[in-house]
């Protein structure tokens, strides 16, 4: 496993490998940048196919967190944790405590929270041994709620830019993945009149969406081809490849999943076909925004003033609009303009 030879390595400031023989913990923390403040990023608990895949994921996601925080105007940097293994099999209270003790060692430069495979209850267990966590029920609460709210603000920017409208009435949206965030997005836009097409690996969740929202069901591997206005990937990343980018029928792609574009060429394909892509790390910034209050109260951290949570979430709309404007003016895909803006903000 080569750190510096990884294609995802981007002069990361620090990468930590933690292990605990007694509990079976194997974790990686990648800190991409602390230029704007101590790094922050969630913990992903997942059965990776290899150690290399886990490392690449931590590196890639931590870089996205740097961009996400910078474009959201937050005084924090970017980091990410991954715990290797099937959470259904190996996640235990002692393992989470062991992980928390490791986080405590680097708490002046990194704080973590919930992500795939980790619940609010899990983060609260980690919080029992370290103060360097956010997203607990004692703070802003479940970050997925705020992520969903932020995405809806971002979708309004997409509607205005691509469809020249301000409301969801009659707009067809394909939501891929009905987890906490995907469901929250579906619920909110349905209440405003959107017509939903959904897919999820959990049959019961799909049936629930049909009952609650009157949704149409699409196969998991075909929902990107649905004849809708907006395709919203809200599960795991990498779903838009060069092949699937050529099959998308929506006029816009805007969802919650991290790293939706498998390759830069996939984004270029969408742009060439006139399909608007909303950079995921801008759209899904609600979670990290909601954690800022907790970060402000961590020991040894300098307190900073920041807008209210509601105002900060609403600003996702304005930042996306700025990105769309810059991309159009420069004749480049939105994700390219967004990355350049983010790197300017973190001094790279």
List the catalytic residues.
80
303 burial type by CB count under 10 A (0-12 exposed, 13-18 middle, 19+ buried): exposed
The answer for residues whose C-beta is within 8 angstroms of residue 16's C-beta and 6 or more apart is 28, 29, 31, 102, 106
Q: How far apart are CA 281 and CA 339, in angstroms?
A: 10
85 Rama sector, left if φ>0, alpha if ψ -120 to 50, beta otherwise: left
3-state secondary structure of 129: coil
- Distance of alpha carbon 266 from the chain centroid: 19
Q: End-to-end CA distance of the chain, in Å?
A: 26
166 to 18, 152, 162, 170, 227: CA distances (angstroms): 48, 12, 11, 12, 21
Q: How far apart are CA 85 and CA 83, in angstroms?
A: 7
Question: How many residues are present in the chain?
Answer: 348
The per-residue b/e assignment along 214-252, b for 16 or more CB within 10 angstroms, e otherwise, is ebbbbeeeebbbbebbbbbbbbbbebbbbebbeebebbb
């Amino acid at each position: 496993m080569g750190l510096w030879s990884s294609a995802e390595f981007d002069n990361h400031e620090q990468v930590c490998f933690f292990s605990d023989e007694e509990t079976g913990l194997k974790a990686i923390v990648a800190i991409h940048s602390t230029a704007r403040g101590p790094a922050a990023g969630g913990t992903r608990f997942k059965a990776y196919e290899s150690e290399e895949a886990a490392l690449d994921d931590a590196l890639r996601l931590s870089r996205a967190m740097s961009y996400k925080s910078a474009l959201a105007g937050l005084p924090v940097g970017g980091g990410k944790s991954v715990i290797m293994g099937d959470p259904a099999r190996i996640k235990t209270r002692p393992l989470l405590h062991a992980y928390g003790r490791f986080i405590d060692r680097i708490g002046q430069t990194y704080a973590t929270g919930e992500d795939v495979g980790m619940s609010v209850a899990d983060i609260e267990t980690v919080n029992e041994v370290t103060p360097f966590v956010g997203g607990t029920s004692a703070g802003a609460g479940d970050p997925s709620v705020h992520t969903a709210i932020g995405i809806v603000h971002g979708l309004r920017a997409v509607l205005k830019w691509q469809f020249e409208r301000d409301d969801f009435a009659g707009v067809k949206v394909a939501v891929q993945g009905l987890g906490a965030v995907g469901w929250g997005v579906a619920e909110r836009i349905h209440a405003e009149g959107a017509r939903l097409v959904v897919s999820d690996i959990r049959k019961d969740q799909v049936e629930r969406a049909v009952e609650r929202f009157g949704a149409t069901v699409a196969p998991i591997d075909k929902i990107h081809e649905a004849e809708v206005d907006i395709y919203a990937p809200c599960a795991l990343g990498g779903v838009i490849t060069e092949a699937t980018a050529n099959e998308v029928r929506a006029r816009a792609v805007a969802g919650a999943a991290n790293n939706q574009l498998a390759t830069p060429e996939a984004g270029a394909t969408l742009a060439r076909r006139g399909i608007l892509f909303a950079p995921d790390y801008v759209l899904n910034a609600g979670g990290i925004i909601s954690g800022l209050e907790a970060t402000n109260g961590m020991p040894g951290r300098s307190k900073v003033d920041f807008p209210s949570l509601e105002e900060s979430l609403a600003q996702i709309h304005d930042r996306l609009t700025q990105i769309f404007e810059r991309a159009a003016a420069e004749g480049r895909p939105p994700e390219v303009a967004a990355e350049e803006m983010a790197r300017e903000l973190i001094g790279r």
